[in-house]
Amino acid sequence: MTATLSLADIARLARVQRPVVSMWRQRAVPGAPFPTPRADGRFSAGEVLSYLSATGRGNNPDPELTSDLTVASSSATDPSDRGDLLTLLAARAVLGADSLAETDVEDLLDDVEALDPDDEWLFSEVEGSDVERLARTADAVADNSFSPAQAYEQLLAADPDPSGLTAPLVDLLAELTAALLGEDSKLVDVAGTATGTALRLAADESLTPPAILLARDLPSDRATARRTPLRATLRRYRVHRCEVGTVAMEDDWDLPAGSVILARVPDHTDPARADPAQSDPDHTDSAHTDSVQAAPATAEAFGLIDDLTLQMGPGTTALVLGPASILIDELPDALVGQRDAFLRRGLVRAAVRLPAGLLRGGGGEHLALW
């Protein structure tokens, strides 16, 4: 891995705002000039560390301890390297190993296979990682964090999902879930859409850790199972030492009273149907266009909610998050009936339109909570 940093990386390393770094470049300290950029505009990580040490600038008392994480999190780091580092951090976390670099690769694979004998969440990833080249970097990142699990989360945040939820919304969902969960109940994470909320509850020492179920569509064959993104969800739970059961969406979940189902309905549309030019190039009616664009997402959303209601018994609650455009706002006339038919069943106890800005990618989209 090439140890270089952008100006934004330097700001994160020094724990200052980005404009502060620009000011440092303009206002040199006598005898300690700001490092000279390379041809690509990036800076040597070693020179940056020497500069911070010589000047005392920034709010990070020990930048050397976080430099490996900063480099690994940088946009210049090869995404495949970052993926391998996440895999190695996961392996170190679940194995409780003191060092990966000092572990023989074959021994590491044997240890991982013992934990994941059916290759459901980690073995293939470790087998495909460049262990010998990246093990020392993974060790450095883990050693300079509070724990391998914290290092894992910090590196995971380097490539944030723009559709992910902001911390305030995760906190709200965790508080609501904690208030609704009963004793000896279960928490269901539907399709890995509520993992952050479940982990927040599991980390709360004032609460009894809930029994967690991950509901998912089971792949039809083993090869497909190895490519499913839910492997990463299971891996993240294991990194935080959460025991998670898995159930198929079509199974009977057998939920005791006091259980809570957490789900997020999709907001994507079928591109072929969303583009009216592909279905009717001469049609320009805006209402028709809105209906075509909303139809797939709306049908999928209420199909999922319908499936969830079949799992709910007395005393079971579902918290469903989704686009306000589907759950709250006015729908095209052709789609109103789908939502009305569901609401007439009397299952919805509250419907809340949330403020904009609760997605990590920003933007003005409003979410809603049922």
pLDDT grade for 295, boundaries at 50, 70 and 90: low
Q: What is the mean pLDDT of residues 322-346?
A: 88
DSSP H/E element including 42? none
For residues 247 and 215, the answer to whether their CB atoms sit within 8 Å is: yes
What CA–CA distances, in Å, run from 23 to 7, 206, 290? Answer: 11, 45, 49
pLDDT grade for 2, boundaries at 50, 70 and 90: low
Q: Percentage of the chain surpassing pLDDT 90?
A: 57
- Where do we find the tokens 């005392």? 56
For residues 359 and 164, the answer to whether their CB atoms sit within 8 Å is: yes
For residues 1 and 77, the answer to whether their CB atoms sit within 8 Å is: yes
DSSP per residue over 43-93, as a string?
EEHHHHHHHHHHH--SS-S-HHHHHHHHHHHSTTS-HHHHHHHHHHHHHHH
Q: How many CB atoms lie within 10 A of CB 134?
A: 21
Q: Percentage of the chain surpassing pLDDT 70?
A: 89
Q: Which residues of 283-295 are buried (b: 16+ CB within 10 A; e: fewer)?
A: eeeeeebbbbbbb
76-80, 124-128, 242-246, 327-331: least confident range: 76-80
Q: How do residues 160-203 score in pLDDT, each as one tens digit? A: 778 889 999 999 999 999 999 998 999 999 999 999 999 999 99
Q: How do residues 238-261 score in pLDDT, each as one tens digit? A: 999 998 999 999 999 999 999 999
Which of 76, 245, 69, 242 is CA-nearest to residue 150? 69
Outline which parts of the chain fall under CATH 1.10.1660.
Answer: 4-73
What distance in Å separates the CA atoms of residue 47 and residue 168, rounded to the nearest whole number?
Answer: 37
Q: What is the mean pLDDT of residues 154-164?
A: 83
Tokens of residue 25, six digits: 């470049």
Q: 167-369 domain in CATH 3.40.50?
A: yes
What distance in Å separates the CA atoms of residue 33 and residue 19, rounded to the nearest whole number?
Answer: 17
Q: What share of the chain is helix, strand, coil (3-state, %, to 5)?
A: 50, 10, 40
Beta bridge partners of residue 368, listed in sequence order: 322, 353
Q: Taking the domain 4-73, which CATH number applies?
A: 1.10.1660
Outline which parts of the chain fall under CATH 3.40.50.
Answer: 167-369
